[in-house]
Chain A
């Protein structure tokens, strides 16, 4: 009796499932007929108007869906940053790095909700024309009732909500860039305070100069997806913070540079691929619609530049160091991506390869030059995001095929952002240093920030050899 039940149960289950499926098969046919009738009825009543509206709505929906996909891809970049930074630093600081990356996404999104979005896109509400403004919505976002979710909001590109969440993901990346340069020695609390103010206030205010239709936008400065607005802003912050913090113990002994190797090249490689994937959304979404021509061309230039960046870094490191350095190849891919970000829409695919290749070459020399300047940047964030961000911004003027942008204006923009960010980051991080301190104690640095800051190990149960 028992064995009979045993095989009867699956059979009866199968019968039930298949009958359900058949029932579902029947249902759509009826629905389709009903919908078709309804559409015909509407079409008869007011043919012209309905047709146009349906097309606009379809386009609006498709655009908005693409923008939300891009938002998710940019969000994924935070995982890329987290894994890249973990891989390129020592095992004893892994929990700390992961914690910073988790906290920064949260802080970045919430500060962008609180004031960042309205500072960056003030609309007409400039307090200081083209330099500083605050949108009429006040702190926080527009209410559900007043938010513009119609096709009229952004030329049928996306809704108000998509606009906020897409730009919010961008904002948090600027702070994540700094996290890599200060890894292994920064006090967690002090760093999080710095990030909250830098992302919540500095990033959106300088961002409004171009993307919020401010004074630099008026001068014709072009930054398509943020070589300057996102990457250089983060990069300047990284440079200033790394200088104020000082190097990790043991990095510079006398006149020697002693490399401190990362603990997981597989993690670093995963991070690079995730960032590359995220860039489909970072640049692809910066078209601000799913425009077939622009979006597809931007993805082509973006990927060609990344590929060329890998080859550029590979060849240079192969020639200089005699062996191809994986960490340089990873940095090369990111350098190519940062390099093309400013001009992904105005550089031809052919020229994007040149831009990426040069970025890949620049990043290798830059990493070595920054080491020689005795500035300790554990993951190469300053080289990738600042130096290649500057290169990308110049390249957008240099290789522009549309004839709308000039190198001079691009240089003006770079200088404006450089001066502002250096001053802002210097005052901010300097003040935090004076009040709270920014660096952990020497003992804590030796033992690792995981135990010191968090009382937790990343690889519990493993014994890892630290060659101090």
Chain B
């Protein structure tokens, strides 16, 4: 089991969801995030003074999947989130020890799907 964590541009969310749905991946969490990377920030003005904002608004998407679904998930996220510009984001894939469905107590492979 793997946890796929992706940081994307907020406005790509719909496209990413769409791409995941097409691959029958319906389970995900979306979390508001702020972050910075290669994409530089932007200027704000407030009462005549400049403010440099370099923490940008991002979304963090988490999808826990069985091993055979990792590539499908990653490809779908890339399909939805890629614009070719700096700031499109990153995907992390990490191993997942276990997964338990609270309602039934199922574990592992069964709980995740």
Contacts and interface: CB of A to CB of B under 8 A. Distances in A.
A468 B46 contact: no
B86 interface: no
Contacts of A465: 32
Contact of B45 (A455, A466, A467): A455
| Secondary structure type dominating chain B contacts | strand
Contacts of B10: 466, 468
Contact of B34 (A446, A447, A451, A463): A463
Interface residues of B, number: 12
Interface residues of A, number: 14
Given A446-B11, A468-B10, A468-B11, A455 B44 contact: yes
B97 to A, nearest CB: 30
Interface string A447-468: 1000100111100100101111
A217 B46 CA distance: 50
B34 to A, nearest CB: 7
B43 A463 contact: no
Nearest to B15: A468
| Secondary structure type dominating chain A contacts | loop
B57 A463 contact: yes
A442 to B, nearest CB: 10
Given A463-B32, A463-B57, A465-B32, A456 B46 contact: yes
Interface string B43-81: 111100000000001000000000000000000000000
Contacts of B57: 463
B13 interface: yes
A456 B32 contact: no
Given A463-B32, A463-B34, A465-B32, A451 B44 contact: yes
B32 A468 contact: no
Contacts of B39: none
Contacts of B42: 447, 451, 455
A463 B14 CA distance: 19
Interface of B: 10-11, 13-14, 32, 34, 42-46, 57
13 contacts: A446-B11, A447-B42, A454-B45, A455-B42, A455-B43, A455-B44, A456-B46, A457-B44, A463-B32, A465-B32, A466-B10, A468-B13, A468-B14
